[in-house]
Amino acid sequence: MGSVTNLHLRNLSKSFDGVDALRDVSLDVADGEFFTLVGPSGCGKTTTLRAIAGFESPDSGSVRFEGTEMSGVPPEDRDVGIVFQNYALFSHMTVGENVAYGLRFRETPGNRSDDERVADLLELVDLPGFEDRDPDELSGGQRQRVALARALAPGPDVLLLDEPMSALDARLRQTLRTQVKRIQSELGITTVYVTHDQEEALAVSDRVAVMNDGRIEQVGTPEAVYREPDTRFVAEFLGENSVFAGEVVGRGTAGRATDGADRSGRAVRVGPATFRLPLNAPEGTEVVFCVRPKKLVRGPGENAFEATVETVEFLGESFRVHLDWEGRDVTLRTAERPTDERLRVGFDPADAHVISGNERERTLVDRDAG
């Protein structure tokens, strides 16, 4: 196969024993892109990866590499490199033999000998001179890098990574994810990465697809899905968020700007409070919106309410304060530890993201879907 410029998934569905694992999943991954599937356990991200690799045959839908339909093409002929969660190194082989294993079935890239290719890749993953080591002599991070080198050895068009760092401690994961991103960027290889770790997904990806219950909830850049979640699930899954649900009860109170434009937004009733939000919707519209912890501020001000302090966590540079407001969980990030049992907090209307209920936003979503 030639170089893959695009990976296309169209309407993939898959069930196991009557339980839907994938529900009409469609995605496009560009040439050289680092694309991450992120979501909770059982959401369908690994099944999607296995369908790309050819280990699972979808019940319906298609997988295409640069326009070529992959249905019926076995995994060994798909030109993909795979790093599994458990690394799957051969214990009876040395590190060099493990890396060279894939070269038994393909011509060594770059007019290099097998030994030269192995040496090049071990240099790339920062393990030069490890050719004669046994896998059981390596740390978990080193085994992960050997598995990555083995997957890259045949020069695949697509690299698939299935939770490759889940067994490592947090500090090592941070170090290795930086290395994986560097290697991917140097090689310019199209990469699909599976993880349940939200921070990891946001840190390394060009784009992410947030999955839930076999479906794609949202696709976008890390910044977009974090700052502008399309659904309540995305808002609550990616990072910390306080999510509110209410109803439009009238116009806001900011009035009109000097150019005559209406800047008032709408007044939204949430429990006993009324908040002003930058949205356009008629009275009676149900609204869901979210506010990130760093956007909540202490003290009097607009959109303020009083809540009870439940727990306080010291995070080094800040404190995470869990609040209870009328039975709703609210999270605040603050530089100083609160000493009172009750806090008054609020937020600027511009810092609230409306998830649903905004007529203009719904129109834009419908237009994009069409």
Q: What pLDDT is attached to residue 364?
A: 34
Q: What is the pLDDT of residues 29-73, one digit of tens each?
A: 999 999 999 999 999 999 999 999 999 999 999 999 988 999 889
Same domain, 206 and 280: no
Are residues 213 and 69 both part of a single domain? yes
pLDDT at residue 282 in the model: 92
pLDDT tens column, 175-198: 888 999 999 999 999 999 999 999
Is 80 exceeded by the pLDDT of residue 360?
no
Expressed as residue numbers, the domain containing 179 is 6-228
pLDDT of the residue at 55? 95
Mean pLDDT over 256-281 rounds to 77
Task: Read off the amino acid at residue 77.
Answer: D
Q: Name the residue with higher pLDDT: 365 or 241.
A: 241
Q: Are residues 103 and 57 in the same domain?
A: yes
Could you give the 3-state DSSP secondary structure of residue 343? strand
Q: How confident is the model at residue 368 (pLDDT cuts 50, 70, 90)?
A: very low
199-204 LR contacts (CB < 8 Å, sep 24+): 200/36, 200/165, 200/173, 201/36, 201/38, 202/226, 202/238, 202/239, 203/177, 204/34, 204/36, 204/177, 204/178, 204/180
Q: Is 278 domain-assigned?
A: yes
The secondary element (H helix, E strand) that includes residue 203 is helix 198-204
Position 290 scores a pLDDT of 96
In a domain, 233, yes or no: no
Looking at residue 356, its pLDDT comes to 84
Q: What is the pLDDT of residues 26-40, one digit of tens each?
A: 999 999 999 999 999
Instruction: Kindly report the number of other CB atoms within 10 A of residue 312's CB atom.
Output: 15
Residue 264's pLDDT is what?
Answer: 66
Estimate to the nearest angstrom the gap between the alpha carbon of 266 and the chain centroid. Answer: 32
What is the C-alpha separation between 149 and 146, in angstroms, rounded? 5
Shared-domain flag, residues 145 and 253: no
Ranking 20-24, 83-87, 161-165, 226-230 by mean pLDDT, the lowest is 83-87
Please give the average per-residue pLDDT across 156-176, as a whole number. Answer: 87
Tell me how far apart the alpha carbons of residues 355 and 286 are, in angstroms, rounded to a whole number.
Answer: 11
pLDDT band at 337 (very low <50, low <70, confident <90, very high): very high
For residue 78, is it within any domain? yes
Please tell me whether residues 206 and 302 are part of one structural domain. Answer: no
pLDDT tens digits along 135-151: 999 998 999 999 999 99
Q: Look at the block and give the residue holding tokens 């999607």.
A: 48
For residues 17 and 132, state if they share a domain: yes
Quick check: is 1 in a domain? no
The number of domains in the chain is 2
Same domain, 245 and 205: no
Same domain, 194 and 333: no
Pick from 178, 196, 228: which residue ends a domain?
Answer: 228
What is the per-residue pLDDT for 261? 42
Task: Check whether residue 59 and residue 187 sit in a common domain.
Answer: yes
Asked whether residue 286 is domain-assigned, the answer is: yes
- What is the CATH number for 355? 2.40.50.140
Q: Are 178 and 159 in contact (CB under 8 A)?
A: no
Residue 263 scores a pLDDT above 80: no
61, 205: one domain: yes
Q: How confident is the model at residue 268 (pLDDT cuts 50, 70, 90)?
A: very high
Q: Do 303 and 274 share a structural domain?
A: yes
Question: Using an 8 Å Cβ cutoff, are 181 and 161 in contact?
Answer: no
Tell me how crowded residue 226 is: count the other CB atoms within 10 A of its CB. 20
Query: Which of the two residues, 230 and 168, has the higher pLDDT score?
Result: 230
Same-domain status, 22 and 89: yes
**Residue 178 placed within a domain:** yes
Tell me, what CATH number does 55's domain have? 3.40.50.300
